[in-house]
Each structure stands twice: as C-alpha cells, then as structure tokens.
C-alpha cells in the first residue's frame, strides 16, 4: 500500500503537470494570435511568451496537437524575430512520436520563396528533424519526400543538414545517375571543402561501388549526431509521459482512448470516473476504444456507440469532441443525471460542520472543467449546483476549479448572473491578499473574452439588444477595479511569492477589452464603453514606464475603435446611424482622457483644463493652485540655498513640465540616456559642451549657441518616441502619433 505522503506527492505532481499543460496550451494560443502582428502593433512581448513556452516544453514536453500548432506558426508567414523563433525550435520536445503531418509541413516550408521562413529558420527546422529522426511515427515519410529534399541541395544554407538527412534515408532505389552527377556538379562548384557533400557521395558509392565517380578524396568524414544531450532529454520526457499514460495521468492522443494502469497511484480517486468501455456495439457501429486517429473519428462520427458508463466521457478528450459535435440527447441526459447525483451529495457533505477538502470532489471538478473547456457548453445541472454551492462557499476551497468552470457561464440576463454568481464571488473571494484580486480579475477577463467571442459570431441586428449583458458586465468589473485599487494589502500579502501589483491585472483586463473593441466597427453586437475616469487617472500617475506605455497603447486602440465605429458603413442602418450608438458626451469624455495624457507628456501643459474636452485629470482648481504655490516656494528656497553655496543657477520647476518627457519621474532617466546617446552619435568630444540639465526648448537653444549639439525641440521629442519604441515600450509613440496632428502629417 502506498503511504499518504507518497499519494500527496503524486497528487501535487499531477496538479503541477496539468497546470503546465494548460499554461503551455494557453501560451501557444496567445502566440498564434499575435505572431502575425507587426512588432509595433503588439501589446504582448513575444520574447517573454516564447520563454514561457520553452520553459514548459522543456519540463513536460509538447503534445502532438500543440506541436502541430507550433509548427504551423513557425512555417507560415509571421512577424516573429529570429531570436524568438530559435528559442521555440530549440525547445520543441515532443511528448510522443512525431507525426508525418509535422514532417511534411516542415519539408514543404523549405525553399527560397518570400513566403517561406528565413534560411536560418529553415536550417534550424532541418536540424530538428535530425534530432527527432528516431522518434518519427512513420520513418518512411522522409523517404517519400526524398526527391524534394535532394532538390534543395542547391541552397547553400541548407546543404549541411540536408546531406546528413539524405545520408540517413538513402537506399539503393534512391541512387540514380543524375543524382550522382548533381552531387559531383555541386562539389565542382563549391570546392573539396564541402565535407558533407563528400559524405553523401560516399553513401551513394557504397550502394553502387562499380560506378566510376572519380576521386572523392582520401579524407574520411562521418556524420555526427548534432546534439546527444538534447536527444537524451527528449527520451527522458517521453518516458515520463508514457508513465503518465500508463498511470492514468495523460490523454495525449486526442483521438485514441488511453486507459489507466492498474498501478496508478491515483486509482482510488480516479476510480470515481471509470475508463471508457463499450460492451455492446451494434453492427456497422464503432466504439470509442476502437478509434486510433482523426480520420477514423471523422469517418465514423455518426456511427459511434456510447460507452457503458456515460460519465467516462468527462475524462476523454475524444469523447469531448464527440459530445460537442454530435451530443446525443440520451447521452446528455445520462451525464446530467450522474452529475446531479454526485454534486448533490457533495453539497450536502459541504454543509456538514466537520467537512474537509475532498480530493475526489476536486478531481471531478477538474474533469468537469476539462469537459466544459472542450465542448464550450456548461451543463445546466452544473450551473444549478454552483448556484447552491456558492451560498455556503468560503472562497478558498477548489477556487481555481470553480472559477475555471464559471468562466463558461452562458450569456444571459446580467441581473440573474449578478444575483446567482457575481455578488457571491466578489464577497467571498476578495480579501487582503494579492492572489484573491488576480484570481477574480482573471476570471472576469476570461468571461468577458468568451462573451465577446460569442457576440462576434452572431448576426448584428439594431434592435436585438444582445450587447446589453456584456456592457453591464463590463460596467460591473470597472466599478470593481476602483474598489480593488483602494483595498490595502496586508503585511503578509507582500511577503508571499504571489504578490502581483493590482495595476498589472487591471491593465491586462483593459488590454483584453481593447482587443475586443477593435472589432466594434465591423460588428454592432460589440458596443464601446468609456473607462471610468478615476481608474484611468490612477493608472496615469505612476513611476513605471511600462505601465504608462501599456495605458497609452490601450487608449490608442480605444481611440481607433471609436474613430472607425463612428464612420463605419457596416453599422449604418435606416433606423440609426453609426454615430448614434455613441452620444457626443461619451466621445467627449474619452477625448478628454487623450487630451489630458497628451498635455501631461507631450504638450507640457499638465493638469490644464482650458483646452477643448480636457478634464485636467479631474484635479480641482484649488488643488492645482496649491501645487503651483508649493512649486514656486520650492524654487525660491532652492535659489537661495544654491546662491549661498555658490553652486551656480538653480533649476526652476513648473507644474506644466513636471510630467513631461524630460521631467516625468518614469521618463526623465530615459530622456537623459537618449540625449546622451544623441550627443555621442553626433561625435561631441573634447571641450564641446554637453547638456547637464533636463531637456527643454530653451535648454536646446542655449546649448546650440554654446557650440553643443544642434537639435530642435520637435526633433528631440521624435527621437524620444523612437527611443521608447526600441525599448519595447511603444505605447506612448502609438498614442502620440495617432493623436497629434503634426505627427500624423509626418507619418
């Protein structure tokens, strides 16, 4: 018998693996979504995303479907930089044998065409084929592609890995006189230093020693394994994966039933959901266990026999797809009956005073989560269970499982959603820990994203009102954000490893909203909302460049969405114009945010409320006057102190400049570094003066008169935007270039 400690360790390892698998899948989906976007249009760092994918792949390997998805991303036209591509390819550790489909896609991407990957990427992919050669599901696939590979030998960048691959797959039928002649021609043009060509030619000679092909040299050359350590790691990962399959912890082949082994450490818990087993199969029908691949699944989709115990579909991804595509009413009713009985028992047990965390309950909730994630439908019986369970829930037990299920709540009446779920979640989950806030915000972000996707798939009708529940949900979340900004952290919360600034999660949520609103001009079911002013201004006043950049990027996307929606022909109708969807007051309120941010950073008019639409960051006039008075007093005090110490003239500060490119606490150091780099590029050496103070228009004019660098104020600000772009913080540049008329003309 296994000890409780061993069972606990196995349970933790299982949870970690499942979490990494989910993380890997989510990251690859995210990468696929942003790979086709130019770098300046992304709000996501693909370098960090690739690093997370590489880390998970190195730890647990990559399943077949995710591997195909990654190969699609790498072989199709994209905007990924070479470093990111290299990181991904060098960490393509397949959990199982590599399918012929993957190999074919890689071979088909070879060549000099513009739509093909870069030569460096093609070389890396060929080297990867060498590494996984002994792990191919169908080794003969490369032999069938022999002619394609051989004809690529004229590409010098691919020649070495191609020669190695060809030497492995060459058989007697492949050795033809015209191919021998082709290799000899390549040797003649490239010189005798092409050891790989010589090695391939020696392979050819081994099959036809009686053919005179000339002197191929005396030097012996043998193809060596490119990376034995990489292959050893791959073997280790695949062995671990096989153990998980045999112990019931893996479902890697989506279209093949995998059974749990009798030695599974989790067999007691997993036994609550039996293996897929079908005893009676009608003539011309097929059981799920008999299927081996996607072709068989598609061919027999309409003639599949249901398993003996329908609950077994919860843990089988092939059965998930069957339920999503076919979903027989009989199967749905049987599954609902089982879930209803099981969950009612758990609710009753949870009400008992001595109830404890149930591993069985957690296991079933995880299975339900996987089922719902595949079918994209939340069974009504699970919705009713959650409605009852949340009334006595403590906000801690099974939190991740419950939130992962709740994010699939179907779109409906917002009032019902609030009464049955949202109010209870907000009150039970939130406390003074960082994890409670990030968990709740992540849940809302996922729910909004899924509702948005659902709306985009529906036909637009002016009178339908389908957008109202989503707008109400977004309003609820934005009000919640303001509360989260004000709730203080406990001392213990900052000491734990899960501490994440709430502003990061809030910006993530607004980024998701910005992406959703980018579709508003083409689909009237998506209605724009204006962020709440306190949230925007709280995020604006920060000492973090990344936060300012992300906020600016979000506002620029919102701005573009408003502009395209107001002029969209798709939204025009006889009853209502596109502009009628958004009241002038609403547009004016949003324009005020843009104007205030431009006044702070670009126009040196911080907290100004006199411009059209400007709100002055909602700072009252009396408060602004107090700021001015305080700054003036500080200038006078500084002036007298420096005069007494004979330290030269004092710097005079003003409220309008305090948040500018040169003075902002988050931007000032970058301004100094940028200007220093410009002076260095201009070759200012020796006795020529350099700027020793924050950059202003007057400072630049004085510096030029003294013999320093000649640079206008406009040129300096443009250089600053380019500097931020190079740092990856391109949000400020995007907002300014889309807002300031002078910059739009330059663009």
| 8 A C-beta contact, residue 566 and residue 579 | yes
Higher pLDDT, 19 or 497: 19
User: Which band of pLDDT confidence, cut at 50, 70 and 90, is reported for residue 166?
Assistant: very high
C-alpha dihedral over 112, 115, 117, 123, to 10 degrees? -20
| Predicted pLDDT of residue 613 | 83
Q: In the predicted model, what is the mean pLDDT of residues 134-143?
A: 86
Mean pLDDT score, 209-237: 75
Helix axes 533-540, 584-601, angle to 10 degrees: 10
Residue 256's pLDDT band, with cuts at 50, 70 and 90, is low
d(CA 671, CA 418): 47
As a whole number of angstroms, the distance between CA 294 and CA 287 comes to 14
Tell me what the pLDDT averaged over the chain comes to. Answer: 84
What's the pLDDT score for residue 9? 38
User: Residue 357's pLDDT is what?
Assistant: 61
pLDDT of residue 333: 93
pLDDT at 3: 40
- Residues 570-597 pLDDT 10s: 776 555 555 567 888 899 999 999 999 9
Q: Could you write out the DSSP letters of every residue in 163-216?
A: HHHHHHH--GGG--HHHHHHHHHHHHHH-TT-HHHHHHHHHHHHH-TTS-----
Task: Tell me the two tokens of residue 97.
Answer: 């044998």
pLDDT tens column, 364-401: 999 999 999 988 889 999 999 999 899 888 888 889 99
pLDDT confidence tier of residue 4, bands split at 50, 70 and 90: very low
Per-residue pLDDT averaged across 543-570, rounded?
91
The predicted model scores a pTM of: 0.63
Residues near 510 by beta carbon (within 8 Å), at least 6 away in sequence: 531, 551, 554
End-to-end CA, the chain = 72
């Amino acid at each position: 018998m296994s000890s409780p400690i061993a069972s606990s360790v196995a349970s933790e390892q299982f949870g970690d693996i499942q979490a990494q698998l989910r993380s890997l899948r989510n990251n690859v989906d995210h990468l696929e979504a942003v790979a086709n976007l130019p770098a300046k249009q992304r709000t996501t760092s693909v370098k960090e995303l690739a690093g997370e994918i590489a880390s998970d792949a190195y730890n647990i390997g990559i399943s077949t479907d995710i591997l195909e998805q990654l190969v699609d991303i790498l072989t199709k036209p994209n905007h990924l930089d070479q470093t990111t591509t290299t990181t991904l390819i060098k960490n393509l550790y397949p959990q199982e044998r590599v399918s012929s489909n993957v190999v074919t896609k890689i071979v088909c991407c070879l060549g000099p065409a513009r739509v093909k990957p870069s030569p460096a990427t093609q070389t890396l992919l060929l080297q990867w084929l060498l590494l996984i050669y002994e792990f191919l599901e169908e080794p003969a696939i490369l032999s069938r592609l022999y002619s394609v590979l051989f004809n690529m030998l004229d590409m010098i960048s691919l020649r070495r890995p191609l020669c190695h691959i060809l030497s492995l797959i060459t058989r007697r039928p492949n050795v033809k006189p015209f191919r021998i002649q082709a290799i000899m021609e390549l040797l003649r043009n490239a010189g005798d230093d092409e050891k790989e060509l010589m090695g391939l030619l020696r392979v050819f000679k081994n099959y036809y020693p009686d053919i005179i092909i000339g002197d191929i040299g005396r030097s012996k050359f043998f193809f060596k394994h490119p990376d034995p350590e990489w292959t050893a790691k791959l073997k280790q990962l695949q062995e671990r994966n096989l153990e998980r399959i045999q112990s019931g912890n893996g479902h890697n082949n989506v279209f093949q039933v995998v059974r749990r082994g009798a030695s599974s450490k989790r067999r007691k818990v997993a036994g609550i959901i039996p293996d897929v087993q079908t005893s009676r199969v009608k003539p011309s029908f097929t059981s799920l266990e008999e299927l081996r691949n996607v072709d068989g699944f598609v061919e027999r989709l309409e003639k599949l026999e249901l398993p003996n115990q329908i609950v077994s579909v919860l843990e089988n991804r092939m059965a998930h797809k069957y339920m999503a595509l076919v979903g027989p009413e009989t199967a749905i009713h049987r599954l609902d009956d089982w879930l209803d009985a099981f969950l009612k028992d758990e609710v009753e047990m949870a009400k008992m005073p001595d109830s404890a965390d149930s591993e069985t309950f957690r296991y079933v909730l995880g299975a339900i989560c996987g089922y719902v994630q595949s079918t994209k439908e939340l069974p009504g019986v699970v919705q009713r269970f959650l409605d009852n369970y949340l009334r006595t829930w403590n906000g801690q037990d099974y939190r991740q499982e419950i939130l992962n299920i709740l994010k699939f709540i179907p779109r409906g009446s917002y009032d019902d959603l609030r009464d049955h779920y949202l109010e209870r979640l907000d009150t039970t989950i939130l406390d003074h820990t960082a994890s409670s806030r990030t968990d709740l915000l992540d849940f809302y972000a996922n729910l909004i994203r899924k509702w948005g996707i659902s709306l985009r798939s529906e036909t637009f009708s002016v009178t339908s009102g389908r957008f109202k529940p989503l707008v109400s949900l977004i309003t609820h979340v934005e009000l919640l954000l303001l509360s989260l900004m004000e709730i203080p952290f406990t001392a213990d919360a900052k000491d734990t490893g899960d501490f994440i600034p709430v502003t990061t999660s809030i910006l993530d949520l607004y980024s998701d909203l910005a992406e959703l609103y980018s579709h508003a001009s083409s689909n009237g079911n998506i209605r724009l909302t204006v962020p709440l002013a306190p949230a925007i201004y709280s995020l604006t006043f920060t000492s973090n460049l990344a936060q300012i950049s992300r906020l600016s990027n979000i506002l620029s996307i919102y701005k573009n969405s408003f502009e395209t929606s107001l002029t969209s022909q798709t939204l025009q109708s006889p009853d209502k114009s596109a502009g009628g969807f958004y009241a002038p007051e609403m547009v004016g309120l949003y324009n005020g945010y843009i104007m205030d941010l431009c006044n702070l950073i670009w126009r040196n008019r911080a907290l100004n409320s006199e411009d059209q639409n400007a709100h002055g960051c909602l700072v009252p006039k009396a408060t602004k006057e107090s700021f001015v008075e305080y700054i003036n007093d500080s200038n006078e005090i500084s002036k007298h102190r420096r005069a007494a110490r004979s330290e030269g003239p004092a710097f005079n500060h003003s409220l309008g400049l305090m948040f500018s490119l040169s003075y902002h606490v988050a931007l000032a150091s970058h301004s100094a570094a940028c200007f220093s780099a410009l002076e260095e590029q201009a070759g200012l050496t020796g006795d020529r003066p350099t700027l020793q103070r924050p950059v202003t228009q007057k400072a630049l004019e004085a510096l030029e008169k003294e013999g320093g660098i000649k640079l206008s104020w406009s040129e300096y600000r443009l250089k600053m935007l380019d500097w931020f772009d190079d740092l990856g913080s391109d949000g400020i540049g995007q907002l300014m270039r889309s807002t300031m008329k002078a910059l739009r003309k330059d663009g």
